[in-house]
């Protein structure tokens, strides 16, 4: 059925080639709301990089109640921005997600504790309450606790886990001893709330070597059998990375574009852009196999997935990009 549709589409495209060249449709589902975390895609759209690549891209913002894996399984998107943890879990459940590009080289997640609080080093966690986001963002934390050999069931020798809302209230309210933040987002909310960098003890997942892959681009396996689709993805990723390169070079303009697309608070977006740029580094979208291995192992250790994933990422798209 899919093949017939593909052939029909190909025929239709050939027939229409005489007219104005039809742009290829791509729907991108983001993992979160419109913010500088996704600046590259918004910039590529706004600056016409997608158009130059012969693409007509629709960007759908996400939110706290949107699971990109479900959207793509339901046919609501061609490509999604997702974290590797969530993608591998979904892959085991029969959604054939494949990582085709990994714009984020480093993870932005960290755990922060007030410097005047009970926790100074990793040895102090026992018997305290730590705030963690769920919805696929809990895997790095559980992997880390696993590594430290701490139970997450609470009690004297373990840590009590608080499911944190997507803000920094639990720390300000003293409901948790430490909370999760993203370097590019909630950390700055703490700064806005009157904390200073020296008031916080930061456990950064990347620096500890506990980072799991964050924002990558995923599509469905079956689509990649079609060379035309792969070509479309190559153009899409290439244009997106061009957008990322532009956004990192012009953070102020990128922030303005985000605001035009429904982002909040220009100042916050500018700061976020600066932090995101650090995570992206060289915009070549190549996945680092070691980071992938670490992610897969962490998920296996926590029994989030039961067997070693196979074919969960491919370099077929990034190999053809030749920046």
Decide if 113 contacts 178 (C-beta within 8 A). Answer: yes
Q: Is 300 in the site for another protein (CB under 8 A)?
A: no
Sheet of strand 109-114, all strands in order from the earlier edge strand to the far edge: 179-182, 109-114, 200-204
Of residues 213, 206, 217, 183, the one with CA closest to residue 85: 213
> CA-CA distance, 93 to 322, in Å (whole number)?
34
Q: Is 136 in the site for another protein (CB under 8 A)?
A: yes
Q: What is the closest distance, in whole angstroms, from the C-beta atom of residue 10 to another protein in the complex? A: 25
Among the candidate windows 34-42, 115-123, 135-143, 315-323, which touches another protein by CB under 8 A?
135-143
Q: Is 160 in the site for another protein (CB under 8 A)?
A: yes
Decide if 117 contacts 289 (C-beta within 8 A). Answer: no
Q: Is 186 in the site for another protein (CB under 8 A)?
A: no
**Among the listed residues 40, 61, 86, 140, the single contact to another protein using CB under 8 A:** 86
Using CB under 8 A as the binding criterion, the count of chain residues that bind another protein stands at 30
Q: Is 45 in the site for another protein (CB under 8 A)?
A: no
Q: Is 302 in the site for another protein (CB under 8 A)?
A: no
Q: Measured from the CB atom, is 135 or 229 closer to another protein?
A: 135
What are the distances in angstroms from CA 292 to CA 28, 67, 210?
Answer: 22, 21, 12
> CA-CA distance, 84 to 312, in Å (whole number)?
9
- Kindly state the tokens that stand for 189: 């909310």
Q: Is 194 in the site for another protein (CB under 8 A)?
A: no
- Kindly state the tokens that stand for 19: 């007219």
**Among the listed residues 150, 162, 191, 201, the single contact to another protein using CB under 8 A:** 162
Q: What share of the chain is helix, strand, coil (3-state, %, to 5)?
A: 45, 15, 40
Q: What is the closest distance, in whole angstroms, from the C-beta atom of residue 180 to another protein in the complex? A: 12
**Among the listed residues 51, 126, 135, 199, the single contact to another protein using CB under 8 A:** 135
**Residues binding another protein (CB under 8 A):** 67, 69-70, 73-74, 86, 89-90, 92-95, 131, 134-138, 152, 160-165, 169-170, 173, 175, 304
């Amino acid at each position: 059925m899919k093949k017939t549709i593909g052939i029909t589409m190909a025929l239709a495209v050939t027939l229409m080639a005489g007219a104005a060249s039809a742009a290829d449709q791509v729907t991108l589902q983001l993992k979160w709301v419109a913010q500088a975390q996704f600046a590259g895609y918004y910039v590529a759209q706004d600056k016409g990089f997608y158009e130059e690549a012969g693409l007509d891209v629709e960007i759908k913002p996400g939110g706290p109640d949107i699971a990109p894996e479900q959207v793509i399984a339901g046919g609501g998107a061609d490509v999604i921005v997702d974290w590797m943890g969530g993608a591998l879990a979904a892959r085991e459940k029969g959604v054939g997600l494949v990582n085709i590009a990994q714009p984020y080289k480093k993870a932005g997640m960290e755990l922060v504790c007030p410097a005047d609080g009970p926790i100074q080093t990793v040895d102090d966690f026992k018997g305290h309450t730590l705030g963690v986001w769920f919805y696929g963002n809990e895997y790095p934390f559980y992997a880390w606790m696993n590594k430290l050999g701490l139970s997450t069931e609470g009690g004297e020798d373990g840590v009590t886990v608080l499911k944190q809302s997507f803000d920094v209230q639990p720390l300000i309210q003293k409901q948790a001893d430490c909370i999760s933040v993203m370097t590019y987002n909630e950390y700055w909310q703490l700064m806005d709330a009157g904390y200073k960098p020296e008031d916080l003890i930061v456990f950064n997942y990347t620096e500890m070597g506990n980072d799991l892959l964050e924002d990558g681009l995923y599509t469905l396996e079956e689509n990649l059998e079609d060379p035309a689709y792969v070509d479309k993805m190559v153009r899409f990723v290439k244009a997106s990375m061009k957008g990322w390169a532009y956004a990192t070079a012009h953070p102020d303009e990128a922030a303005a574009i985000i605001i035009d697309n429904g982002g909040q608070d220009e100042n916050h977006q500018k700061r976020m852009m600066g932090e995101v740029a650090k995570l992206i580094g060289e915009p070549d979208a190549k996945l680092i196999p070691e980071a992938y291995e670490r992610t897969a192992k962490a998920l296996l250790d926590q029994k989030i997935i039961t067997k070693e994933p196979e074919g969960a990422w491919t370099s077929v798209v990034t190999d053809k990009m030749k920046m």
